Amino acid sequence: MDNNNMYQQDQNNDYQQNYGSQQGYTAPQSDYIQPDYVQPGYQQGYQQPENTLEEPVTLGEWMVSFLLMLIPCVNIILMFVWAFSNSEKKSKSNFFKAALIWYGICMVLSIIMVFAMGIGVASALS
């Protein structure tokens, strides 16, 4: 054993004897669990849990989806199915929800314009 190790052991024992029992100091209990350090939210990187990752919608799936959207009446039904189905991928579902919202806005604006044009034509004829 070298002299450095003996010197360090003697210092540790002296510290424990001299300072360990002063002023009612008690050693931490073995069942005490110190909480982990938690970084503020702006320093933590977002990591999506692995079990919630999903495959992206492939190019072929998008091609088939847009091909089916060209068929009249079927496209409206499929948009609702893809938008609100739990079995569809989240990105595809969100896309068709957004598309339905835009189609709804366009329908309302079209109806307003038809009424405005009808009123204009009716006033011009009278």
What residue type is assigned to position 37 of the chain? Answer: Y
Cβ contact 69:79 at 8 Å: yes
What was the pLDDT predicted at 126? 86
Q: Which of 53, 59, 60 is nearest to 89 (CA)?
A: 53
Name residues whose C-beta falls within 8 Å of residue 20's C-beta, 6 or more positions apart in sequence: 27
pLDDT at 53: 80
Return d(Cα 69, Cα 92) in angstroms, integer: 13
Sorted by where each begins, the domain ranges of the chain are: 57-125
Question: C-alpha angle with apex 55: 46 to 96, nearest 5 degrees?
Answer: 95
The confidence score (pLDDT) of residue 54 equals 86
**Run of H or E residues at 9:** helix 3-19
**Amino acid at residue number 109:** L
| Res 31: pLDDT | 64
Task: Quote the pLDDT of residue 4.
Answer: 57
pLDDT at 34: 59
Which tokens sit at 116? 């405005």
Please list the ranges in the chain whose pLDDT falls under 70.
1-52
The answer to whether residues 78 and 68 touch, using CB atoms and an 8 Å cutoff, is yes
